Amino acid sequence: MELFQNILRIIYEVMRIYYYVMIVTIILSWLPIRNSNFFRALYRLTAPYLNIFRGWLVIKGIDLSPIIGLLFYRFVMFMLRNAIF
Number of domains in the chain: 1
> Band of the pLDDT at 18, cuts 50, 70, 90?
very high
**How is residue 36 annotated by DSSP?**
S
26-61 per-position pLDDT tens digit? 999 888 888 889 999 999 999 999 999 888 888 887
Q: Is the pLDDT of residue 15 over 80?
A: yes
For position 38, what pLDDT does the model report?
93
% of the chain with per-residue pLDDT over 70: 100
Q: What's the sign of the alpha-carbon dihedral 83, 65, 49, 42? A: negative
Structural domain that includes position 62: 2-84
CA distances from 21 to 1, 9, 26, 55, 81 (A): 30, 18, 9, 21, 19
For position 13, what pLDDT does the model report?
95
